A = this chain, B = another copy of it.
């Protein structure tokens, strides 16, 4: 069933039928009703490809998911696109995902832009050495970054957490509890987000006049076993920390395992505070959650990002106007933190 057949049945022109279906005002209420009814009865729906070609809009947004063999798949990504997908559905947009080897990423962006596959792109996980935004500008395709680029904050639209402040607050919180040696299990510090988090950690320590001890800091993929490994190393050292700050729930779970396997109690002997991205299969919820955390929903970030990008695409005028959205993280008190014990270690 296509437009031609439908309009034949109705004894109307394709023009009128199209207008009726698309809500144009110049169609009589009566005709519109007739058209809508018949379309429903016959199960007509416009062919998407024809519509795209005719309008020049694909009504779809692209996400590129780089996957190198030795790098983990980020659960954050999934949560983010689930949020974004919700918004897309609301606005009638589709979501296209390209899974690609890391080194092909630029080629993929070129192809997407050249072949006009989508109306806009969301760029994930900006790195310290970021170039994708320059490429996409050159390719002249609307895009939004999930995460700022240091030094280029005003050059793109972005949605980001205030990572620095969140981690400064978390560290400050531990300092207030009397902790002075705080282990820091961070994500890969090639990533923008991890760089900012480290700054926050260091800022708080500096302000409190604490010494910065590099041996207390670790940077790695955010997996549970690595969390255990690093936390164990620290706990077994000659001058172990009394608290841990971790960049993800998985690292926190790993750290907890390490603490317990050392015969210590979390919250009592050793405190743990973690960043919580609100990953749905790693719940840390309830009245008093298991982990004290700085919490910011990445699913929500996805929703906001999608909204901003779509709005940007619709208001074409905003050609060089960038929209940025900073999300603050809440500090949620859980059961994994407590005052520092004196004279341990």
Contact = CB atoms under 8 A, between A and B. Distances in A.
Interface string A92-112: 001111111000000000010
The number of times this chain is found in the oligomer is 2
A312 interface: no
A74 interface: yes
Interface string A68-90: 00001111011101101110110
Contact of A89 (B81, B100, B281): B100
A133 interface: no
A114 interface: yes
Interface residues of A, number: 57
Interface string A45-57: 1111110110000
Given A45-B115, A115-B46, A98 B99 contact: no
A96 B96 contact: yes
Chain A interface SS verdict (over half): mixed
A291 to B, nearest CB: 11
Interface stretch (A11-19, A29-37, A143-151, A217-225): A217-225
Given A46-B115, A82-B99, A88-B99, A73 B280 contact: yes
16 contacts: A45-B115, A47-B53, A49-B52, A65-B82, A73-B79, A73-B82, A73-B279, A75-B75, A75-B281, A78-B78, A81-B97, A95-B96, A96-B96, A250-B282, A256-B257, A260-B260
Interface of A: 43-50, 52-53, 58, 60, 65, 67, 72-75, 77-79, 81-82, 84-86, 88-89, 94-100, 111, 114-117, 221-225, 250, 253, 256-257, 260-261, 279-283, 290
